[in-house]
Amino acid sequence: MPARCLVIQVLACDTTDAMRRAYLAADPRADVVELRLDLVRNLDLDRLLSARGKPKLATVRSRQQGGGARPADREALLRRALEAGVEYLDLEFGEHDQALLKGQGRARRILSYHDFNGTPADLQALHREMRQDAGEALVKIVTFADAASDLLRMRDLLRSAAPGSLVAFCMGAKGIPSRILAPLWGSAALYAPARGAADSAPGQVPLEDLFDLYRVDRIGPGTRLLGVLGFPIGHSLSPRVHNAALGALDLDYRYLPLEARTMAEFLPLLSELRLSGLSVTLPHKETILPHLDALDDSARRIGAVNTVIKIWNRLEGFNTDAEAGVAPLRSRRTLQGAHAAVLGAGGAARALVHGLMQEGARVTLFNRTPSRARDLARSSGARSLPWSRLRGFRADVLVNATSVGMAPDIDRTPVPASWIASPVVYDIIYNPAETRLLREARARGAEVIGGLEMFVAQAAAQFELFTGRAAPLEVMHRAAQGEQPSPPARRRRR
Ligand code: ATR
């Protein structure tokens, strides 16, 4: 990370005491602590500002600016903070802050612009206008990423600005990569709350994650990027699991959440970011096919990919789902000749059925929409039965490949408990780790297998395709179970 990129820890506490405590406990990696004064209900400014510690940035957003201050109180509060000697002062572009911007006081000014609804069409024009007002102040432009390509516009803006003069990134789920890459692109600062602290803007990445997971201080021009493409992607475990593994092996890759609703939206990122591989999830596992130059056997048979490798400009598609889907079963029993009942006929079911057939299992499909089950049966060589036949149906293993029971609908289950008759029940849902189906199957004496095993197996196979290195399975398992990464050991800078 360029030395000039300030790390600003954002505090959005609602009481003076809480903010004072948080300030005194600021992350050692923060250079500056931003105090969102407008969010404190019982503000005792003297008490807060008398705390000794990191340089302070005083910020007061009015209600029109997405904050909590009455416009009438805002300027007075900023002025008092300035007089009390804060080191940085946030002023809002377009407000009547001219007097504060150019006035007395040694605080470094930051002239900021926030758009919580979108990214203006002409960012360069906005920047020019702000620069004219800003004088010596840092300019900060933060907008909501409506489309994935807004990231590229933010990158281009940063690259065109004088070094150290502009802070810029995008908010929202689609903006997350810009929070991680902004220092590389030349942003003069990054903003992050501590983990578990109140958020003050959408898409914030905790400071601990920026450093311990994304190793933001060691991203350089040679860093290769990976990511998970999907919609929505906010709750994906993949960035956590892959970055933990990359960090454990000290590999100079970073794995980003890349949210895009359509392939058309994503294509500019594919060609312009330094991506060397992708995990692909819903809804793009099939829609990405026309954009690929080659497919492996598994992807071709299943008609969907979950992994893409980019070598120069050639895109190769793979599917690690089938192999990963059967791995948790195969490690417990032989599948040759075993009888599996599979619920579902979507993409996940298709990969699983192919994996099971490949292992020599006999598969019976059940699906809410019978025609989809029949189609999958026909193309895979399995058989299908009507949903009603599931009652008391005994196979060696019952597999749930529907989305029923997945968070947030964790109280749902695809089959009534009394229908479960198979001795092994496997649910490929990994969130929650134990679904209602598994809980009920366990209570009926079945052996149960949760989806985290499959998740880690497919991620490990992807990791090996991405990096050519053996995946650190233990690390990936622990990350999938929610263990936080520890700070990377201080290593020689590359
Ligand atoms: P994926 O690619 O993750 O499998 P999908 O193609 O949308 O996603 O498939 C979801 C599967 O869950 C389908 O088998 C779907 O059944 P339909 O084919 O009838 O849509 C199944 N599913 C989703 N909601 C369901 C519900 N409430 N009850 C039963 N099955 C359901």
Confidence band for 492, pLDDT divided at 50, 70 and 90: very low
Place of tokens 């009603």: 388
Per-residue pLDDT tens over the stretch 435-451: 999 999 999 999 999 99
% the chain with pLDDT above 70: 98
CA 403 to ligand 1 center in whole angstroms: 6
Mean pLDDT of 385-406: 97
Average pLDDT of the residues in 238-254? 98
Q: Which two tokens stand for residue 70?
A: 């009455």
pLDDT at 116 over 70: yes
Dihedrals phi, psi of 239, to nearest 5 degrees = -60, -40
- Nearest Cα to Cα of residue 27 among 493, 491, 488, 487: 487
For residue 345, the ligand 1 atom closest to its alpha carbon is 14
Task: Locate the ligand 1 atom nearest the alpha carbon of residue 369 and give its number.
Answer: 19
Q: Over the range 99-130, which residues count as b (16 or more CB within 10 Å of their CB) and which as e? A: ebbeeebebbbbbbbbbeeebeeebeebbeeb
Q: What pLDDT is stored for residue 3 in this prediction?
A: 58
Give the tokens for residue 376.
Answer: 């999958």
**Whether pLDDT at 99 is above 90:** no
Residue 340 has pLDDT above 70, yes or no: yes
- Alpha carbon of 202 to ligand 1 centroid (Å): 30
Count of beta carbons in the 10 Å neighbourhood of residue 394: 11
Please state the atom number of ligand 1 nearest to the C-alpha of residue 344: 14
pLDDT digits (tens, 9 = 90+) for 410-441: 999 999 999 999 999 999 999 999 999 999 99
Q: Is the pLDDT of residue 356 over 90?
A: yes
Q: Which residues have a catalytic role annotated?
A: 114, 140, 285, 321
Residue whose structure tokens are 């406990």: 25
- Ligand 1 atom with least separation from CA of 347: 2
Ligand 1, from 402, 411, 413, 430: best to mutate by most atoms within 8 Å of Cβ?
402
Mean pLDDT value across residues 229-238? 92
Question: Is the model's pLDDT at 486 over the cut of 90?
Answer: no
Give 150-161 as a DSSP string: HHHHHHHHHHHS
Ligand 1 centroid to Cα of residue 345, in Å, is 7
pLDDT in tens, 268-298: 999 899 899 999 999 999 999 999 999 999 9
Query: Residue 96's pLDDT is what?
Result: 77
DSSP E strands in 165-283: the ranges are 166-171, 189-193, 224-230, 253-259, 275-280
Q: How many CB atoms lie within 10 A of CB 359?
A: 18
> Is residue 248 within 8 Å of 273, Cβ to Cβ?
no
- Whether 95 shows a pLDDT value over 80: the answer reads no
User: Residue 2: pLDDT band by 50, 70, 90 thresholds?
Assistant: low
In this structure, the residue with its CA closest to atom 21 of ligand 1 is 402
Å from CA of 91 to ligand 1 middle: 50
Q: What is the whole-number distance in angstroms between the Cα of residue 223 and the centre of ligand 1? A: 39
Per-residue pLDDT band for 490 (boundaries 50, 70, 90) equals: low
Query: By 3-state DSSP, what share of the chain in percent is helix, strand and coil, each rounded to 5?
Result: 40, 20, 40
The average pLDDT across 313-328 equals: 95
Look at residue 164 in the predicted model and tell me its pLDDT.
93
Q: Which of 368, 374, 400 to mutate to test the pocket of ligand 1 (most atoms within 8 A of CB)?
A: 368
Ligand 1 pocket: which residues have CB below 6 Å? 282, 344-349, 367-369, 372, 402-404, 414
- Token pair listed for 125: 């024009």
Direct distance between the N- and C-terminal alpha carbons of the chain, in angstroms, rounded to an integer: 11
Give the Cα separation of 70 and 57 in Å (integer). 20
For residue 174, give both structure tokens.
């689609």
Q: Is the pLDDT of residue 1 over 70?
A: no
Cis-peptide, bond into residue 408, ω within 30° of zero? yes
Q: How confident is the model at residue 484 (pLDDT cuts 50, 70, 90)?
A: confident
**DSSP single-letter state for residue 317:** E
Q: How far is the CA of 318 from the centre of ligand 1 (A)?
A: 23
For residues 296 and 319, the answer to whether their CB atoms sit within 8 Å is yes
Widest Cα–Cα separation across the chain: 83
Give the C-alpha separation, 87 to 105, whole Å. 9
**pLDDT higher at 490 or 107:** 107
Task: Give the pair of three-digit tokens for residue 351.
Answer: 């990969």
**Residue among 405, 401, 399, 407 at smallest CA distance from 424:** 399
What percent of the chain lies above the pLDDT cut of 90? Answer: 88
* Residue 376 CA, ligand 1 centroid: distance in Å: 13
Rounded Cα distance, 199 and 197, in Å: 6
pLDDT at residue 409 above 90? yes
Q: How confident is the model at residue 489, as a pLDDT? A: 62
Eight-class DSSP state of 314 = E
